[in-house]
Structure 1
Amino acid sequence: MSGWLTAPVPVQAGIDTIIEAPPWPMQLLVVAVAVGSGLVCYRLADPGGEWMRRLRSRLLLGAPWGTVLTAVFLLGMFLFVQGAYSGNPFDPRQPVTYAFTAWSYEYPLGVLAAPFSHANLAHLRGNVISLLVFGSIAEYGYSHFRPGRGTQIEYLSRRSPYVRPLLFAGAMGLVGVATSAFVPGPIIGFSGVVYALAGFALVVRPLTAVVGLLLSDMLGTLYTAFTSPVTTHSPGIGYYGVWFADIAVTGHLLGFLLGVLLGIALWYRRGDRPSAPRVWFAAVLFGVIQQLWLAYLPLGNGRYALFRGIGIAFVFLLGAAIVATARRSSRPSIPWPSRAPERLREELPSRGQAAAGVLVMTVLTLALAGVVVHLQTVESTELPNDPVEVRDYQVGYSENVTNQLYAMVDIPGLEQVTSVDSSGVIVYSERRNVWQLATSKSRLASTGYTEVTVGGVGWRETVGVSRTGWSVVGGNRTYRVQLHPPDEPSRVAFTSGPARADATIANRTITLQPADTDFEVAIRQHNETIGVGALPETGSNTTVGAIRFERDGRDLYANYDGTRVRVAQKNVPPTRRD
């Protein structure tokens, strides 16, 4: 689930990974060995033994049908409703996301569709794997068979094992809509429900939920081993993104607490009490590993403040509250002395009641914050710098503009959080209440090119955005950003200021600056411009202000009276070469 920022996950820098075409013999080897190993375990474990009988005693034919049906629904939503199907289900294209994100209550389609939509294939894959793991554990704890098994049950009764999987899937859908409607900020993805399933599982089957953490990682590794059995790696320079900026921790926390409360309610209804050490261990372990401790604030232009210490302390407090609530501790919440009036001690809530109140109040606080945010709307405006218009969308580029996503929530005393500046590719739609930083300035500078897919139900369009530039001696840069609309000529959206080189030749300064169609060089002497000319093409030269400039690939050299020095270099992203 993406949170306040729903842009694609940033490219991790430092390693340039090239994925080779997966050779089918190695794929076959991975599948054959994995299946063979599993069959050995299956045969040795006695397929008709206790573990299979226990599985069939709780699940219809031993399978978690509600979980499986939900996974199929998510895949269909991604491929066909979001438009990711490209003729090959194993090679989907970028799905439409803006139309299926929960922006506000004024755009109900987004609120209803967001929990079942995903930002990209990796997002879908991670959620589906976690769904299959934690959904199966939770469905096993829920059980397809109610107490009183053996009595006559109508097929359409809610007690029927044929209906209960559908009820389980429906409950997941309701939790999904709840997280979408009550989580602050625009979200997309099923992870809120996944965290709810994990919260439910760690209450009803705590140790199995811990094993599920390892199992989900194993399945992810198996998927990667199958799709990319051979890869080559080489050192590279790329874009470093803030790894937690796209994580909707409030959505994860809300879903987790909803699942925990549902699991506790199930125990209360059945009259059982879970093991306190197991639940505490599972809750703390899950909270730390799955980053429920994330607490951060945006500072503007890609900077964030992360409060790791406070977050870790919160996870341990949360674990204690979950255990006290699940165990229904009857001890007084305040250790009053034995001589205190008996009436006073009886009127105080027990530890279990106090802990339950903490969990419920946390859920209500998160939900209230979500309601406040979803009631707000972005300011009606026009993006600067001649944006591309695609139906109700605008796609443009700007720098140091107020981020409307945060500014629409005006909190007195927190102006640093609600009034932040952003730079990069921006998507705006008044109809859908969208104002989104799709690609940051730094990421575009690193990649050189990005595509923004906009659309709705049954349609999609892609707008390209490119950045070209030069770095002069001394580190200064000059660049221009172009928009590439569908079926229209490209146009310049933004040009930076000139970049002056530190080198001085014959008492002349050299400056590179954007021109109408490319870049040009300007020569100044004694604070006067004595020549302006276009940059030469690769392998050619031109003379400006008595200085001859030569282009050799990415490098620009200046020649004067037998002296030849490099004065600038074209910025080429790691994935692109001239």
Structure 2
Amino acid sequence: MVIPVHDVNPLRRTPWVTYALIAANVLVFVVFTPGVADSATGQGNLAQLCHLQAFLDQWAAVPQELVHHRLPHLVPTGAVGVGPRGQGCVIGPPGYDKSPELSVLTAMFLHGSWLHLLGNMLFLLIFGNNVEDRMGHFRFLLFYGFCGYVATYGFALLNAGSTEPLIGASGAIAGVLGAYLVLYPRARVWVLVPFLIFLPLRLPAWIVLGSWFVLQALYSSGGAVSDAGTVAYVAHIVGFLVGMLLAWPLRRGTPPPPEPAGILFGRRARPRW
């Protein structure tokens, strides 16, 4: 898996929506999400985990709730109790009224750890600014939200019995990646490739994003080793394909990015005489 660092694709306007989305995600994580802001991995003590679980059940998207449009009879309350098997999180009737449809929106601004948050925001910053530049601010905002909704519902329909909360902006950002691939397939992207050390290379966007999509497909099918139990790879695939489809009508009128001379795949190319 390569790590994108920067793309060689200048902007015509300031990507205010991209910046605002990044700021909103960081703010929600740091200020409102309980427990995880103090840890790089999202792991904490039992009280923090019970509080976080209750918070996510209230604000995250749950596939079973989205498909059947009803709340469960028992949910985590956020308290810690003692039972026959020792300490654990207390469950009880939900003390809140939740809209499953609105939970898809709120879930897009929730993240489980700093790694989860920073990884998503890195991809959004690198690839979202050019997609916003091409679509315009308002259309990009609608596009981002639509991809997030379709990705979440796509995953929910394929996992209708799941009660695991879905969180993160990954589905919406996957749509951004799909749009970038359609609009700027030949744009150069600086990446770090882990091979003993991190090697800087400059690769075409179609290689970077195409390999990302293939990896998501392998993970979702079980064809590669992953933590598929905690990552909704199907949502990534759905969001990516929807982003490609929505961006396709804009492809013809999109000017190609400038081709920087003198550097190829991270190394200076020799002139041809």
Normalising by structure 1, we get a TM-score of: 0.26
**What are the ranges of 5 or more consecutive residues in structure 1 without an aligned counterpart?**
1-50, 143-163, 222-240, 275-578
Counterpart check, 1:198 vs 2:149: no
Preserved contact between residue 97 and residue 119 of structure 1 (Cα < 8 Å): no
Q: 2:24 aligned to 58, 73, 83, which one? A: 73
Preserved contact between residue 150 and residue 238 of structure 2 (Cα < 8 Å): no
Counterpart check, 1:141 vs 2:140: no
Q: State how 1:108-187 maps to structure 2 within 5 Å.
A: 108=100, 109-142=102-135, 164-184=136-156, 185=159, 186-187=165-166
Are the structure 2 counterparts of residues 76 and 91 from structure 1 closer, same or farther at C-alpha, using a change threshold of 3 Å?
farther
Are the structure 2 counterparts of residues 273 and 131 from structure 1 closer, same or farther at C-alpha, using a change threshold of 3 Å?
closer
Are the structure 2 counterparts of residues 180 and 216 from structure 1 closer, same or farther at C-alpha, using a change threshold of 3 Å?
farther
Are the structure 2 counterparts of residues 266 and 115 from structure 1 closer, same or farther at C-alpha, using a change threshold of 3 Å?
same
* Partner residue in 1 for 2:206: none
Aligned partner letter, 2:17: G
Alignment partners' CA distance in 2, 1:216 and 1:100 = 36
Aligned partner letter, 2:33: Q
Once the two structures are superposed, residues 204-257 of structure 1 have per-residue CA deviations (whole angstroms, 9 ceiling, x without a partner) of 11122x616x2699xxx8xxxxxxxxxxxxxxxxxxx96333221210111000
Alignment partners' CA distance in 1, 2:177 and 2:193 = 12
Once the two structures are superposed, residues 516-550 of structure 1 have per-residue CA deviations (whole angstroms, 9 ceiling, x without a partner) of xxxxxxxxxxxxxxxxxxxxxxxxxxxxxxxxxxx
* Partner residue in 2 for 1:256: 240
* Partner residue in 2 for 1:100: 59
Alignment partners' CA distance in 1, 2:26 and 2:40 = 11
Preserved contact between residue 108 and residue 169 of structure 2 (Cα < 8 Å): yes
Helix, strand or coil for the counterpart of 1:252? helix
Q: 1:245 aligned to 226, 229, 232, which one? A: 229
Larger Rg belongs to: 1
Aligned partner letter, 1:183: F
* Partner residue in 2 for 1:211: 189
Preserved contact between residue 101 and residue 187 of structure 1 (Cα < 8 Å): yes
What's the offset of the Cα at 1:273?
10
Preserved contact between residue 115 and residue 188 of structure 1 (Cα < 8 Å): yes
Q: Which of the pair is proportionally richer in helix?
A: 2
**What are the ranges of 5 or more consecutive residues in structure 2 without an aligned counterpart?**
1-7, 71-97, 160-164, 199-224, 257-273
Extract structure 1 runs of 4+ deviating beyond 6 A. Answer: 88-94
Preserved contact between residue 78 and residue 84 of structure 1 (Cα < 8 Å): no
What's the offset of the Cα at 1:196?
0.8
Once the two structures are superposed, residues 37-74 of structure 1 have per-residue CA deviations (whole angstroms, 9 ceiling, x without a partner) of xxxxxxxxxxxxxx9xx945x21xxx322111110011
What's the offset of the Cα at 1:118?
1.2
Using CA pairs under 8 Å that are at least 6 residues apart, name the structure with larger relative contact order, 1 or 2: 2
Once the two structures are superposed, residues 298-355 of structure 1 have per-residue CA deviations (whole angstroms, 9 ceiling, x without a partner) of xxxxxxxxxxxxxxxxxxxxxxxxxxxxxxxxxxxxxxxxxxxxxxxxxxxxxxxxxx
Q: State how 1:429-444 maps to structure 2 within 5 Å.
A: none
Alignment partners' CA distance in 2, 1:131 and 1:141 = 15
Alignment partners' CA distance in 1, 2:139 and 2:193 = 24
Are the structure 2 counterparts of residues 81 and 177 from structure 1 closer, same or farther at C-alpha, using a change threshold of 3 Å?
farther
Alignment partners' CA distance in 2, 1:98 and 1:119 = 13
Helix, strand or coil for the counterpart of 1:211? strand
What's the offset of the Cα at 1:166?
4.1
What's the offset of the Cα at 1:167?
3.8
Helix, strand or coil for the counterpart of 2:27? helix
Alignment partners' CA distance in 2, 1:119 and 1:83 = 10
Counterpart check, 1:83 vs 2:34: yes
Aligned partner letter, 1:171: F
* Partner residue in 1 for 2:80: none
Are the structure 2 counterparts of residues 166 and 192 from structure 1 closer, same or farther at C-alpha, using a change threshold of 3 Å?
same
Q: State how 1:219-298 maps to structure 2 within 5 Å.
A: 243-267=227-251, 270=253
What's the offset of the Cα at 1:84?
4.7
Are the structure 2 counterparts of residues 247 and 211 from structure 1 closer, same or farther at C-alpha, using a change threshold of 3 Å?
same
Are the structure 2 counterparts of residues 244 and 77 from structure 1 closer, same or farther at C-alpha, using a change threshold of 3 Å?
same
Preserved contact between residue 148 and residue 175 of structure 2 (Cα < 8 Å): no
What's the offset of the Cα at 1:100?
2.7
Alignment partners' CA distance in 1, 2:193 and 2:18 = 15
* Partner residue in 2 for 1:42: none
Preserved contact between residue 129 and residue 216 of structure 1 (Cα < 8 Å): no
